[in-house]
Amino acid sequence: MTQTPDSQTPSPVTETSHPPTSVNSSWIEEMTARWNWTTEQLKGLFPADQIAKTFVQWFSVNETQIAEILETVRAELPTTEALLIGKPQAGKSSIVRGLTGVSAEIVGQGFRPHTQHTQRYAYPSNDLPLLIFKDTVGLGDINQNTDLIIQELIGDLQQESPGARVLILTVKINDFATDTLRTIAQSLRQKYPNIPCLLAVTCLHELYPPQIDNHPIYPPDFEDINRAFEALKIAFKGLYDQAVLIDFTLEEDGYTPVFYGLEALRDTLADLLPEAEARTIHQLLNGEVDDQLGNIYRDVGRRYILAFSIMAATVAAVPLPFATMPVLTALQVSLVVLLGNLYGKTLNPSQAGGLVSAIAGGFLAQMIGRELIKFIPGFGSVIAASWAAAYTWALGEGACVYFGDLMGGKKPDPQKIQTVMKEAFKTAKERFKGINESK
């Protein structure tokens, strides 16, 4: 084979047999240059002019273009910003879980410092925020300056927001030490009377009669709860627009349903929010929004998947059994790293390699069969190329399902991923059939 123009530049096979330590724009530019040179060298083995052109065209899809696509989509999505105001353990994170369906662990990891006294959590991601929750911290702490907290909240609300806003005052049913919360609510109500405010009264089970060990039919009709609810409504009179009773617990607490009063919360928010935002929350709770957002991310991810599938076909066409497997593995690991970045998950090559092994174990035999078929004179390399492209495509589809579940706060389902990959592989084999045949 012809030597590289620069004798100090290692061959692509040697270089890519060890995955890069990070994925960024400079690495993408370097990888593009190396693979452009590779396709030129591979032309001496088989006619691949069209493949090389297609590969260069599609691999040019970069993070800047993805950002532009996401920006366009973001501008079309209604976004609701919910400011959660309440003491620690009052149920603010539980409201986030109820409205998004994400796990408690992911909610805890998702909140990030926003100001000294607030934290921010965007669902499903910062790139495409559908719901933005801002949680106050430090309320009820005698060492905290209430005036400073109010100033921070007012300053935050002064920032322009393209979407709707709602204040959610979160109070435990048996907590009547609410002076600080009332002071904050009064200041915000006076400054922003047009921002709707919901009084959410939580932890109802703490006032259930001793003989009651589960939630009753909603709404609960117990004397202690009714009396406490009325007292809280009187305490916050004039500071809220509507009030709702909810009790969002964890699965291990043993209460059914886990999100008791979720429909009441949904309907109350629908009354307080503009039509578009209210409709989106309904779709979110029905799972429709998750499917729509998943399709958006997958459509963007498929641009990467197609580029890497064409690269895999180009490499696999080399008629040397097993010699190309390290390069193909590096390509597929790099693809998973890039898809992870797209979904907001940062992986190093070692982690991505482990993920490839975990979600694609059922395709190992097919990979080996693809290499062995190269021994068939004349036809082996052509078939191997289409199989490599199809396998890479299926792997990318499976990775999108995996990362999509994580982004939505769900535990990835291995059986679901394998089903998606099998169907994608079957379809892609037809799509990439004869990809390296002479035109």
CA distance 204 to 220: 9
The structure tokens listed for 409 are 């706060």
| pLDDT value at residue 140 | 67
Same domain, 189 and 277: yes
Give the SS3 label for residue 245.
Answer: strand
Indicate the residue type of 147: D
Same domain, 333 and 273: no
Residue 14 in any domain: the answer is: no
Indicate the residue type of 424: A
Among 30-34, 253-257, 275-279, 383-387, the minimum mean pLDDT is found in 30-34
CB neighbours of 260 closer than 8 A, spacing ≥ 6?
Answer: 204, 215, 218, 246, 247, 248, 249
Cα(first)–Cα(last) distance of the chain, in Å?
23
Same domain, 88 and 53: no
Same domain, 249 and 105: yes
Q: What number is the average pLDDT over the span 131-147? A: 76
**Domain termination site, one of 258, 287, 316:** 287
Q: What number is the average pLDDT over the span 72-101? A: 83
Whether the model pTM is above 0.75: no
Residue 33 in any domain: the answer is: no
Q: Are 242 and 232 within 8 A, CB to CB? A: no
Same domain, 242 and 328: no
The better pLDDT of the pair 53, 273 is held by 273
| Cα–Cα distance list, 276 to 95, 163, 181, 212, 406 (Å) | 20, 10, 30, 40, 26
**Domain termination site, one of 287, 322, 351:** 287
At 198, is the pLDDT very low, low, confident or very high (cuts 50, 70, 90)? very high
97: domain CATH number? 3.40.50.300
At 74, is the pLDDT very low, low, confident or very high (cuts 50, 70, 90)? low
The better pLDDT of the pair 158, 115 is held by 158
Same domain, 303 and 406: yes
| pLDDT value at residue 425 | 85
The structure tokens listed for 237 are 């009179």
Same domain, 252 and 382: no
Same domain, 241 and 317: no
**Domain termination site, one of 287, 319, 338:** 287
Among 230-244, 250-264, 335-349, the minimum mean pLDDT is found in 335-349
Same domain, 137 and 269: yes
**Residue 428 buriedness (CB in 10 A; 0-12 / 13-18 / 19+):** buried
Residue 41 in any domain: the answer is: no
Supply the mean pLDDT for the chain. Answer: 75
CB neighbours of 10 closer than 8 A, spacing ≥ 6?
Answer: none
| Residue whose pair of structure tokens reads 């998702």 in the numeric block | 110
Please, what's the b/e burial string for 147-164 (b: 16 or more CB within 10 A of its CB; e: otherwise)? eebbebbeebbeeeeebb
Same domain, 277 and 165: yes
Same domain, 188 and 262: yes
| pLDDT value at residue 376 | 44
Residue 318 in any domain: the answer is: yes
Among 14-18, 21-25, 134-138, 271-275, the minimum mean pLDDT is found in 14-18
CA distance 421 to 425: 6
Identify the domain containing residue 274 by its residue range: 78-287
CA distance 32 to 411: 35
Residue 124 in any domain: the answer is: yes
Residue 19, pLDDT > 70, answer no
Same domain, 64 and 187: no
Q: How far is CA 195 from the centre of its chain?
A: 29
Residue 8 in any domain: the answer is: no
CA Rg value for the chain: 28
Residue 40 in any domain: the answer is: no
Domain count for the chain: 2
Residue 254 in any domain: the answer is: yes
Looking at the chain, how many residues does it have?
439
At 20, is the pLDDT very low, low, confident or very high (cuts 50, 70, 90)? very low
